[in-house]
Amino acid sequence: MSAATPAYDDGNIFAKILRGEIPSDRLIDDEVAIAIMDIMPESKGHCLLIPKTASRNLLDASDETLARVMPVVAKLARAAKAAFSADGVRVAQFNEEAGGQTVFHLHFHIVPVYEGVPLKRHAMGEVPAETLKEHAEAIRAELAKL
Ligand code: 5GP
């Protein structure tokens, strides 16, 4: 039996970041989405692309939102890979608690992958703000070249 997708709740942390209630160091801020570093990165350069249009996840997102956001996901993936000379990049997106989702506003994980370096566990272990700031700078520099 499948349950219906619950209604969107705008009290989630990404909605607060989008509204500016919580300050954020943005890699991208355009009409479609923002991008920020993940505070508990699975690898060096792990960042998040967060559409501005509210939806809980992929299951209730409009086709228009998805169509508009994917080119930005790709752009960020290219920049994050280039910024750290990663060997690959993983794009992930989780739906509902059983699917691994912990923040209930649609977002895409961009996770650079380095050969021989295992990914850290999902949403576990913060890194210092200063480190994230440096990584953000490196990604912004690559975005500026695209
Ligand atoms: P989800 O589990 O919903 O797919 O991913 C949520 C992600 O958001 C996790 O990778 C987690 O590390 C990250 N995260 C949780 N709280 C914050 C926060 O306050 N700021 C940022 N930048 N990332 C967060």
CATH number for 61: 3.30.428.10
Residue for token pair 């920049």: 79
In degrees and rounded to multiples of 5, residue 47 shows phi and psi of -135, 170
Could you tell me the distance, in angstroms and rounded to a whole number, from the CA of residue 130 to the centre of ligand 1?
A: 17
Q: One of 107, 109, 122, 135 is an active-site residue; which one?
A: 107
> Can 122 be counted among the known catalytic residues?
no
Rounded to whole angstroms, how far apart are CA atoms 87 and 108?
A: 19
Residue 111 placed within a domain: yes
Q: Identify the residues whose C-beta falls under 6 Å from ligand 1.
A: 13, 36-40, 94, 100-103, 123
Residue 59 placed within a domain: yes
For the question of whether the overall pTM of this predicted structure is more than 0.95, the answer is: yes
CA diameter of the chain: 48
Closest-CA residue, ligand 1 atom 13, reads 38
Residue 6 placed within a domain: no
**Domains identified in the chain, total number:** 1
Residue 16 placed within a domain: no
Could you tell me the distance, in angstroms and rounded to a whole number, from the CA of residue 39 to the centre of ligand 1?
A: 6
Q: Which residues of 64-96 are buried (b: 16+ CB within 10 A; e: fewer)?
A: ebeebbeebbebbbbbbbbbbebeebeeebbbe
Rounded to whole angstroms, how far apart are CA atoms 125 and 131?
A: 13
Quick one: which of 49, 36, 53 has its CA closest to 129? 36
Per-residue pLDDT of the chain (146 residues; tens, 9 = 90+): 567 889 999 999 999 999 999 999 999 999 999 999 999 999 999 999 999 999 999 999 999 999 999 999 999 999 999 999 999 999 999 999 999 999 999 999 999 999 999 999 988 999 999 999 999 999 999 999 99
